Amino acid sequence: MARRTRPRLRTALLAPVLALGATIGPAAAPAQAAVWNSCDKWGSTSLNGYTLYNNIWGQGAGAQCTWANSGTNWGVWADHPNTGGIKSYPNAKKVINKSITSLASLTSNYNVTVPSAGAYNTAYDIWDTDYDFEVMLWMNHNGAVGPLGSPQGSVTLGGHSWNVYKGRVVNPDGSYHEVFSFLRTSDSTSGSVNILPVLKWIKDTKKWWGNETIGDVQFGYEVTSSAGGLNFTTNNLTVSSS
């Protein structure tokens, strides 16, 4: 059984969502038959070198289904109530398992269709192999959601301009991990991102971590609310490393 995505506890809700726009009717799969779909809480599959997760992990979650035509073309229908707190992070994961200094490149292309209603972000979630550090790259977001931690200024890296935040998640057992969040200064639904310069900036310029071994590069949707049912579609996603 594939390891499910590590529970995600960092992103804070800035304020209650007061109203949602028009909703989209339920659609657990695209018009054409998907090669995989799951409405199970921890549903997962592997396709074309990517592992897909439905990953409904938050408290008070509603219904959600993930479908996939391939590891790079997939989507989600989610109907989570209009309450605070992240309900899910449906995502596709690519395993890297290389140290920062041994990576010659780490890049990604993305193309998504996201709703105008609801509260969510579309983000890369990058972990070291020990899960001591987490790097989030927010490509777009909607509604009353925001990153964990305190602002650390702005920077242009990897082809994008970001507002940077640094925080820490403390678990009930006293363990913790550091979170570095990069929020794109304007929303983007398609493009490319050069991830390696971001990782090197954290290491060499800020010295927030050492020569970590990068384990997972995940990409998906952190959904806080999507009352009535909303669709999130990954038209194309590729993650490449050398």
Residue 18, pLDDT > 80, answer no
Mean local confidence (pLDDT), 78-96: 97
Enter the DSSP assignment of 141: E
For residues 80, 82, 83, 86, the Cα torsion angle rounded to the nearest 10 degrees is: 40
pLDDT class for 23, splitting at 50, 70, 90? Answer: very low
Q: Specify the residue for token string 């987490």.
A: 134
Q: Name the phi and psi angles at 199, rounded to 5.
A: -65, -40
Which pair of structure tokens corresponds to residue 123?
């983000």
Q: How far apart, in whole angstroms, are the C-alpha atoms of residue 241 and residue 108?
A: 9
pLDDT class for 32, splitting at 50, 70, 90? Answer: low
pLDDT score at 171: 84
| Domains assigned to the chain | 36-241 (2.60.120.180)
Strand order in the sheet with 150-157: 44-47, 50-53, 91-99, 213-225, 119-128, 133-142, 176-184, 160-170, 150-157
Per-residue model confidence as pLDDT tens digits over 117-143: 999 999 999 999 999 999 999 999 999
Q: Which of 15-24, 34-43, 136-145, 201-210 has the lowest mean pLDDT?
A: 15-24
Per-residue model confidence as pLDDT tens digits over 185-199: 999 999 999 999 999
pLDDT class for 20, splitting at 50, 70, 90? Answer: very low
Please state the three-class secondary structure of 145-202 as a single string.
CECCCEEEEEEEECCEEEEEEEEEEECCCCCEEEEEEEEECCCCCEEEEEHHHHHHHH
Residue 114, pLDDT > 60, answer yes
Which pair of structure tokens corresponds to residue 225?
């609310």
Q: Which of 25-39, 111-125, 166-180 has the lowest mean pLDDT?
A: 25-39
pLDDT score at 157: 98
Mean local confidence (pLDDT), 40-50: 98
Which of helix, strand or coil describes residue 100? coil
Kindly report the average pLDDT of the chain as a whole number.
89
Residues found in the chain: 242
The Cβ of residue 240 has, within 10 Å, a number of other Cβ atoms equal to: 12
pLDDT score at 36: 97
Q: How far is CA 86 from CA 13, 67, 83, in A?
A: 8, 20, 9
Q: How far apart, in whole angstroms, are the C-alpha atoms of residue 1 and residue 20?
A: 37
- Is the CB of residue 122 less than 8 Å from the CB of residue 112? yes
Mean local confidence (pLDDT), 151-180: 96
pLDDT class for 28, splitting at 50, 70, 90? Answer: very low
Enter the DSSP assignment of 144: S
